[in-house]
Amino acid sequence: MNREIFKYPPTVEVLKLLTPGSLKQNLAKAVRLWVILRSLYGDDNDQVKIVELGEEFNFLQWRNLFFWDAVKYHLRDKLPSLHHEKCPCATKLTEWLFASDLSVDRNQWCLSFKQYYSIQDDELNNLLLTGTINNAKSGKQDDKSVDTNIEKKSHHFSKSLSNGCLFAVTIRNLKDHDFQSLVNLGWLKIEKANNLDTYLKVDKFPDFLAPCLENVEETSSEKFTNEELSAFNNFLSKPINGIQRFFIHAEYIVHPKLYNRVELLQKQLKSIWTQEKVPLVKLTYQSAKLYQETVDCIVYPVCIYYYQRAPYLFAYGQIPKRDSENSWSKIDWYDYRLDKIIQLDELPKKIDNINIPKNFLDKCQGKSPPSPDDIKNEMSIAWGFDIHKPQELLLLRFDRYFYNNYIEGTERDEMFIKISHKQVQNLVKSYTPTASLEQKNLLSIVQSRSEKDIYCKVDYRVKDNNIVMRLRAWGPNVEVILPLHFRQDMKKDMEATYKLYR
């Protein structure tokens, strides 16, 4: 039988196809699935141990052939000990990726990973070493918190690999999660009889594999930046039996009469970014922050983000200020909504007649000008889209049922640091005036809440409207504990809303 051979290297694109959802949360599982597929569908030249099985087999048959002394060391509910250097359970995740016959270059792999995910270098290294993001997480640590014993997450995404070994997992995990995923994705078929699962190899690999791999290079510059959407798009973008089954409804608030202006701006920026040295530009901008006043800003254009219903130009330089203010008093990042840019003018390479600070010119025209990676880094250290705004500690209380169903296991679960009830009280004492009425009231409120509630802390961008809208949408399922000014703002908004409906 001329069955297909699984000979695909473990590139980021291939691994993303093996795990719907975020590869950042499921990297170890994706690599395990890749290894298992090589063991089942590899060829004689494959360094992975080829399991000589028939067309039909059960899980224990695969286990006994794949691992060394499997009956003794690879048990249903017990992690295997390091019992033999040649057993696959002794091979580290990084060795599977970067030291096998189908290995990929580590630096290139990491660059590709960062195209999809916002992640710091130390976090990525930790992910490769342990299969999980460092519990310290990105962002500034709260040095005012006395008790730093962070509550451990129960979700299986958070479990680290023992010594970085990819198959340092239980047999139950391999069968119930990994092999079941291969069935769900169409890599195996399954038949159930007398409480026994029989797996059947497939003659043809899943349809989504080949076209996605063929188009990797062609579409690399057009990928979704959101990893979940990217995974769905890769998996369901092609019609099934001639019928399109996957659609994206992205709410777009730009008025139709401005479409031509936005398209022209995109073309201008694309032309600018093709230049070897990206020039400065002058934006004529209608600022909502300044109540629709039109201002001029000289900036270094970096990239476009589609976020919350509209496209934004991220740029470094002058931020919108009134004419009476010193427009160069603060040079910073800013996100300019494209449909609010009235005009964009490219400035000449040599600027003699405009008073521009030398440090700004040196930064933008030097060896390391502002880049999209800078923006990703800024977004990763604090919750929020407006990276030009200051960051501050945010302490939240969640209803446990809501947290378990809508936060746990998501990207926000990685961002929010769960803390104990004792830590909450310590933070309240640290961030409110000692023995003040506000402190006493807040401590009393915390003590009156259910002991089952979940408390989380995260650095956030102050007065970022996107965060305010998100917290409003979660309604009574979440409560802002700190900072006090944010808590008061939420209270005033809700009181005003209540008056409307009273």
DSSP string, 262-284: HHHHHHHHHHHHTSSSPPPEEEE
Q: Distance (Å, rounded) from C-alpha 332 to C-alpha 168?
A: 46
Q: Do 109 and 57 contact (CB within 8 A), yes or no?
A: no
Give the span between the Cα atoms of 57 and 371, in whole angstroms. 52
* Phi, psi (degrees; rounded to nearest 5) at 319: -110, 155
SS3 258: helix
User: Under a CB-based contact definition with an 8 Å cutoff, are residues 311 and 294 in contact?
Assistant: no
What is the 8-class DSSP label of residue 352? -
Residue 170, classed as helix, strand or coil, is coil
CA-nearest of 207, 195, 197, 180 to 56 is: 197
| Half-sphere exposure at residue 312, Cβ-oriented, CA atoms within 13 angstroms | 17
The letter for the amino acid at 169 is V
Give the separation between CA 364 and CA 362, rounded to whole angstroms.
6
3-state class (DSSP) for residue 218:
helix
φ, ψ at 193 (rounded to 5°):
-155, 130
Angle between helix 421-431 and 437-448 (nearest 10): 170
Please, are residues 79 and 163 in contact by the beta-carbon 8 Å criterion?
no
Decide: 89 and 74 in contact? Cβ < 8 Å. yes
Per-residue pLDDT of the chain (502 residues; tens, 9 = 90+): 566 788 888 998 889 888 766 788 889 999 999 999 998 888 765 556 667 887 889 999 999 999 988 888 888 888 888 888 889 988 999 999 988 777 788 888 998 888 777 788 888 998 998 887 754 443 334 333 333 333 333 333 335 677 889 998 898 889 888 998 898 888 999 988 777 889 999 888 887 665 555 444 333 333 444 555 555 555 566 666 777 666 666 677 787 788 888 888 999 999 999 998 899 999 999 988 888 889 999 999 999 988 777 889 999 999 998 876 667 878 999 999 999 999 999 998 777 667 888 889 989 988 889 998 888 888 888 998 888 899 999 999 999 999 988 888 777 877 899 999 899 999 999 999 988 999 999 999 999 998 899 999 999 999 998 899 999 999 999 999 999 999 999 999 999 999 999 8
Tokens 């059947």 belong to 200
Please name the amino acid found at residue 274.
T
DSSP 179: I
